[in-house]
Structure 1
Amino acid sequence: MREDGAVTSATERPEPQMPESDRSAPVPGGVRLIATDLDGTLLRDDKSVSERTVAALAAAERAGIEVFFVTGRPARWMGVVSEHVHGHGLAICANGAAVVDLHRDGKIIEVRPLERPDALATVKTLRAVAPGTTFAVELTTGIHYEPDYPPFHLDPGATIATAEELLASGWAGADQPVLKLLAHHPRLGPDEFLALAREEAGAHGSFTRSSPTALLEISGPGVSKAATLAHCCAERGIAPEEVVAFGDMPNDVEMLAWAGTSYAMANAHPDVLAATSARTVANNEDGVAVVIERIVAAARR
């Protein structure tokens, strides 16, 4: 869509250009799997999947290259891309805490939980070292949050209570695995809050962030996008050097470091830019599609 509101066709839209440093970069050969983050990476800022990206994903599948969406989103927020997961239908959600089957309405088929004692220890520690922190608890069945937790995504089915109550053994949702704990601070900077939480409570979980605000996402110890992706690839006999990964935020860093070839989006966080040697154009310029097209073209030669 142009600034005047008119919609341009794929043929009318200018072709995004690779960054100067990457135009001569060799296209990786022998690619068997593409792993891509969603928000800020595959999706445009309006949360849409462009026609060009849809075509690139389909071309990769036709070329025999699997595509995994690897995201911090919960399964219930995967509708925007569910129809674009082809053969296997699987996606990695909640920063690696869940593997879901998008062909079965987002059914969770594998869980790597944050155990409640670790979640409670994290809450206790962050309340002490960062007063003003508020929490939400993401279960396999949905999210629940504290009264003062910011209304990022209101859920009419949520229980509103303290984190301690939401994590207590006597609560109605106590039989549901905890996928992740979310912690928000109203005054600390996002990276400052992340560093503090890792230092003070890192023994109880894996801490990361994907939001521009001071919103942390806490998974079980050792749980990450990278760990679950590595497990899924091992089940398929796919080695790291056969994987190309894309990302833009700190929750992507481990995955980008694990994959044989990794691309940071032009709009990526400095930590992501530092963790990768390859670059592509921004998410709003279809940076993932630009690279996939090159990979598929190279595979045909």
Structure 2
Amino acid sequence: MTSATDSPLPAVTRLIATDLDGTLLRDDKTLSDRTTAALAAAEEAGIEVFFVTGRPARWMDVVSPHVQRHGMAICANGAAVADLHDGTLLRTYPLDRAVALAVVDTLREAAPGVSFAVELATGIHYEPAYPPFHMDPGATVAVAEKLLREEVPGTGAPVLKVLAHHPELAPDAFLSLARDIAGDHASFTRSSPTALLEISGLGVSKAATLAACCAERGISADEVVAFGDMPNDVEMLSWAGASFAMGNAHPAAVAAASGVTLTNDEDGVAVVIERILAAR
């Protein structure tokens, strides 16, 4: 595995795709001055920067001032593309409600004690046993079956993802279990240090939505440099022409990336961006 200073870079870098938590952001959820300067310099050099995250669009305030020309971000693990200039969702790739209900039922049977949250395009709602979201005080609290039910079929807000939390299972073991029993019906991943699964529509991922956004711009995978740290970044790291796992990354992200950079608290993304710009 090569490092931030010797891993091959694309002959021409046209787009930088970076995860946020554990990658671009420091552990205190801020951007360092060095990283802020590197992002601005990349944009000034004509390189597009895409934030590609598991976060919903409403949690993007920490980086929205640093989106320059296009203003777009890929949110909810690829289930939404948002315009950070005004907070609108430009497109969604939702999880079918009937599929979501079937997955909930399957996980309840296979992993007693699991609790769920439902991330809609309009906000998050969760079950009484689910760890509460202090950032969303207006959330509805009810069982997942009720949260996923529509008064009139087809009239509810798009389901971007369902989250499943288990208080006892090991995170990777929970992910493996879910993929084994329901991976033919939905996409399962994780980005939390706890046993918290993120469930999206089948085939929805950061990589798939990033590839679509790049295709619209005439940008190939070989012209993309990607950064990430957790299992929800694996497909993106594998897809990009050059990719870097953070020094603090999960082993699956390290295995998928073409190189490893410094940790998020050591400005690992900025180190590589500076190298890209120096080589132009």
TM more than 0.5: yes
- Report the count of equivalent residues: 280
Aligned mate of 1:39, from 21, 29, 32? 21
Deviations 1:157-181 (A, max 9, x none): 1111000000112289951000000
Other-structure match for 1:85: 67
Aligned mate of 2:102, from 110, 115, 121? 121
**Residues 1:232 and 2:213 are matched in the alignment:** yes
SS of the counterpart of 2:184? helix
Deviations 1:116-173 (A, max 9, x none): 0110010000000001100000001000000110124352211110000001122899
Compared CA separation, residues 171 and 50, structure 1 to 2 (3 A): farther
Question: Under a length normalisation based on structure 1, what TM-score does the superposition of the two structures give?
Answer: 0.90
Compared CA separation, residues 22 and 283, structure 1 to 2 (3 A): closer
Aligned residue identity for 2:63: V
Where structure 2 has 5 or more consecutive residues not aligned to the other structure, the ranges are none
Aligned mate of 1:49, from 31, 34, 38? 31
Other-structure match for 2:254: 273
Other-structure match for 1:66: 48
Q: Is the 8 A contact 1:135 1:149 kept in 2?
A: yes
| 1:26, distance to aligned residue in structure 2 (A) | 3.8
Other-structure match for 1:134: 115
Compared CA separation, residues 123 and 28, structure 1 to 2 (3 A): same
Where structure 1 has 5 or more consecutive residues not aligned to the other structure, the ranges are 1-18
Sequence identity percentage: 71
Q: Is the 8 A contact 2:5 2:275 kept in 1?
A: no
Other-structure match for 2:81: 99
CA RMSD of aligned residues (A): 1.6
Other-structure match for 2:6: 24
SS of the counterpart of 2:51? strand
Q: Which runs of 4+ in 1 moved over 4 A?
A: 19-22, 171-174
| 1:294, distance to aligned residue in structure 2 (A) | 0.5
Aligned residue identity for 2:18: T
Q: Is the 8 A contact 1:101 1:109 kept in 2?
A: yes
Aligned mate of 1:293, from 256, 274, 280? 274
| Alpha-carbon distance in 2 for matches of 1:21, 1:31 | 18
Range 198-207 or range 149-158, more displaced? 149-158
Question: Under a length normalisation based on structure 2, what TM-score does the superposition of the two structures give?
Answer: 0.97
| 1:23, distance to aligned residue in structure 2 (A) | 3.1
| Alpha-carbon distance in 2 for matches of 1:164, 1:174 | 16
Other-structure match for 1:150: 131
Deviations 1:14-44 (A, max 9, x none): xxxxx98453334432000000000000000
Q: Is the 8 A contact 1:250 1:272 kept in 2?
A: yes
SS of the counterpart of 2:49? strand
Aligned mate of 2:225, from 244, 259, 267? 244
| 1:246, distance to aligned residue in structure 2 (A) | 0.2
- Matching of residues 170-189 of structure 1 within 5 Å: 170=151, 175-189=156-170
Q: Is the 8 A contact 1:281 1:287 kept in 2?
A: yes
SS of the counterpart of 2:85? helix
Aligned residue identity for 2:266: E
Aligned mate of 1:75, from 57, 63, 66? 57
